[in-house]
Amino acid sequence: MPARTGHQWTWDLTVGDSWSNPQWATWQGRIHVRSQYRVVGKQVVLTPLGSLCCWLVRAHASCPVGNSSLDLWYHPAYGFVQLDYHTITGSRLTFKLVGERMEQSIRPFPIPNYQLSASK
């Protein structure tokens, strides 16, 4: 941060076969995962907290066992307001901020509360 429209970056990760699982993908040894991120721009997201102006970031990951993608909406005060994953199995997972609350705490910001929905 600060974000700016058009900003791009890449993240490379090596993953061992101890993370392989027949439910999504299996492999032997290590595989290389390359994730590419791009800041698309600002977008208003309707939430239970009202309309929030968020940064939309689009990501795509590729590796020998498949591809996945992620759209994420980030708000400076609330953090990740929504995450929309498309997995290598074709499943979709969406996390949405559904509320926030302030408790007697030493934390400077409220802790986000997410709701998970899955579809295939």
Write down the residue that tokens 């590729």 correspond to: 62
- pLDDT digit string (tens) for 35-85? 999 999 999 999 988 999 999 999 999 999 999 999 999 999 888 999 999
- pLDDT digit string (tens) for 19-49? 999 988 999 999 999 999 999 999 999 998 8
Residue 83 confidence (pLDDT)? 96
- Residue 110 has phi, psi (to 5 degrees) of -65, 150
- Tell me how crowded residue 90 is: count the other CB atoms within 10 A of its CB: 9
**What pTM did the predictor assign?**
0.76
